[in-house]
């Protein structure tokens, strides 16, 4: 009769099981040893802490994962899974730039939504996917609350908006004219400007590369890794 491994009920094992049970845990169990899976879910939290009743991804949790993936020779590719409503613009753009600067094959998959600052996060990888029912909202930067120094704040927003536009243009096939038309459309969203793209529409406008689910995205990443290792 086989003896039970003495480590099966160790505190470390129990902690791992608790992490798996906990929704939104950072310690996601590894599925493939050579691929780093990173999920960006809910609101992207930046310098300001999100309310307790909101699902949020802290950007300071994602940065170490990306740095470790870049430095670890066993990690050959990065798979970004997105279902985000947007959030902190500077934090989202910082993550987008960091993902884009990692020199290993990278694939993104938009599940549910890739809204607002989630758009550059989706385009930051080498190849992007979106499931047929997922949506992406493209709109100008918004703010809430008191604004002091309106002209100065407006100029700052203009510069920030241009940084986002430039990044999307650099990391996708969409052209400047089309992106601005989608961003400032007035007949798509009630009481606001912007455009909502659903699945195939994001591919039609060359914002996302392909419609597909998890298995297709994973196969694409495997192929990119194989091509790089040839």
Known catalytic residue: 101? no
Q: Which residues of 58-78 are buried (b: 16+ CB within 10 A; e: fewer)?
A: ebeebeebbeebeeeeebbbb
CB 36 within 8 A of CB 81: no
Q: Give the angle 221-91-208 at the CA atoms, nearest 5°.
A: 35
Q: How far apart are alpha carbons 144 and 207 in whole angstroms?
A: 28
**Strand residues in 28-152 grouped as ranges (E):** 35-45, 56-58, 77-87, 106-114, 127-130, 135-138
Calculated CA dihedral for residues 91, 44, 101, 153, nearest 10 degrees: -30
Residue of 39, 115, 124, 139 marked catalytic? 139
Known catalytic residue: 116? yes
Tokens of 48: 């300001």
Q: Residue 12 CA to chain centroid, in angstroms?
A: 30
- Packing angle between helix 150-171 and helix 176-183, nearest 10 degrees? 130
Residue of 108, 116, 124, 128 marked catalytic? 116
Residue 137 has φ and ψ, to the nearest 5°, of: -105, 125
Residues involved in catalysis? 116, 139
């Amino acid at each position: 009769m086989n003896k039970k491994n003495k480590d099966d009920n160790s505190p470390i094992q129990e902690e791992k099981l608790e992490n798996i049970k906990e929704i939104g845990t950072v310690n996601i169990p590894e599925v493939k040893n050579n691929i780093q899976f990173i999920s960006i879910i809910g609101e992207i939290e930046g310098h300001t802490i999100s309310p307790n009743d909101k699902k949020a991804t802290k950007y300071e949790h994602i940065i170490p994962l990306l740095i470790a993936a870049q430095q670890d020779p066993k990690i050959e590719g990065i798979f970004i899974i997105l279902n985000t409503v947007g959030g902190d613009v500077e934090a989202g753009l910082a993550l987008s730039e960091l993902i884009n600067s990692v020199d290993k094959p990278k694939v993104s998959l938009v599940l549910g939504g890739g809204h607002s600052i989630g758009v550059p996060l989706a385009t930051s990888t080498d190849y992007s996917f979106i499931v047929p029912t997922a949506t992406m909202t493209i709109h100008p930067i918004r703010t809430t609350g008191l604004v002091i120094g309106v002209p100065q704040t407006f100029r700052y927003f203009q510069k920030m908006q241009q940084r986002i536009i430039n990044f999307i243009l650099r990391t996708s096939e969409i052209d400047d004219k089309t992106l601005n038309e989608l961003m400032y459309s007035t007949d798509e969203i009630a009481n606001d400007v912007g455009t909502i793209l659903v699945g195939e529409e994001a591919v039609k406008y060359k914002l996302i590369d392909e419609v597909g689910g998890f298995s297709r995205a994973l196969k694409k990443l495997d192929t990119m890794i194989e091509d790089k290792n040839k």
